[in-house]
Amino acid sequence: MSRSVRTRPEGSGQALSEAYDTALLDLDGVVYAGGNAIEHAVPSLAAARDGGMRLAYVTNNALRTPDAVAAHLTELGIPAEAGDVITSAQAVARLIADQVPQGSRVLVVGGEGLRVALRERGLEPVESADDEPVAVVQGYGGPELAWGRFAEASYAVARGLPWFASNTDLTIPSGRGIAPGNGAAVEVVRIATGAEPQVAGKPLPPMHRETILRTGAERPLVVGDRLDTDIEGAFNGGVDSLLVLTGVTDGAQLLAAPPQHRPTYVDADLRGLLTGQPEVVGDGGAFRCGGWTAAAGAGRLELDGDGAVVDGLRALCAAAWTAAGEEACGLDAGKALARLGL
C-alpha cells in the first residue's frame, strides 16, 4: 500500500478474496457482536475460504484464549482452530518476554487469555503486587473484573515496575451496544499512577509483527470496523484494508478520517470479500461511484443520485478526503449522509 495521502477508496477488478491470500479479520463488530454472528458473516467467510483465501482472526480482545475463540467461531458455523486466532494477549506476552528474564513473574490484571499467553512465553502469572512480579500487564477482563484489580496494578506500577497493556481500545461492541473496553481500564491505572504503559495491540507494530509471524501472510488484507485500530494498524504495517460498516464506525467518522484512518476499500459487511470493488471516478471536481455523484462545496458535502448506499458513501469519501488533503475533513456531511440513511 502506498503511504501517500489516500483521497478515495480504491477499486478492484477481482474479488478481494482472490486478490489477497489472507484475510486478517477483526472479530468484535466484524464477525460477531455480543457473541452472535453478524448478518452475512458466516456464508461470506465460508465462500472466501472455499475459494482459497486463508482466514485469520486478529483481535485486540485479550480476555479469551485462542482455543476458546476458535471454539466459539466453530459454534457459530465458522470452522476455526486455535492457530487461526491471533490475540493482543499473545502480542503483549511476546513484548514482555523480550524485556524480562525467562521464568519471570508478571502481575496480571485481566482474563485467562493473558495468563495462557504469558505461560506460552515462559512467564509466570501472579495476582498480587506483593508476589514479587517484575512487570505488570493489563488486558480486557470482562464486565466482572473486580475494581480491586486496578488498585493492585497501581501499587505495582507506582513501585516502578514496567507496565504493559494488551491494547487501549476505549470501547468494545456488545449485543446491547457499546461498552467500555480495556483502554478505559488502562485510564484508571494511568490516572492513579501518572505512568504510561507499553502497548502491544492494534494499531501498534507489536500486533502486526505477531500477526505476520503467526500467519506467514504474503498478500494480507486487514478487515475491520474500527478506524483507530484496524485501519490505522494496516496503515502502520503498510498493507491494504477493508472497512466494514457493521461495528463502531459510522459514516460521519469515515468521512472525517485523517490519512492514517482511511481504508483502502469500504463495504457494508463481509460480503465485500466476495466481490470486486467499484472504482470511484473523478469528474470535473465531483466524484462518481455507482449511481451517485458527490462533491464538496460551500462548507458542506453534496450528494446526488441513487443506487447502493455503500456506493454513495464511497463517492462521499472521495469528495471529503480530497477536500481535506492531509487533515481530517471538517465539512458538514449531515444532509448527504441523511440521503443514504446513515
Active site residues: 26, 28
The length of the chain in residues reads: 342
- H-type helices in the chain, by residue range? 16-19, 41-50, 66-75, 88-97, 112-120, 148-158, 182-193, 205-215, 232-237, 251-255, 309-324, 334-339
The grid cell for 193 is: 499512577
Question: Which of 234, 263, 229, 232 is closest to 248 using CA atoms?
Answer: 229
Residues 6+ apart with CB under 8 A from 86: 56, 57, 58, 59, 66, 207, 210, 211, 214, 215
Q: In whole angstroms, give the CA distance from residue 195 to residue 342.
A: 40
Cα 156 to Cα 218: distance, rounded to the nearest angstrom = 41
Alpha-helical regions (H) of 194-341: 205-215, 232-237, 251-255, 309-324, 334-339
Judge whether 66 and 107 are in contact, CB under 8 Å: no
Residue where the block lists cell 498478500: 219
Q: CA 274, CA 101: separation in Å to the nearest integer?
A: 46
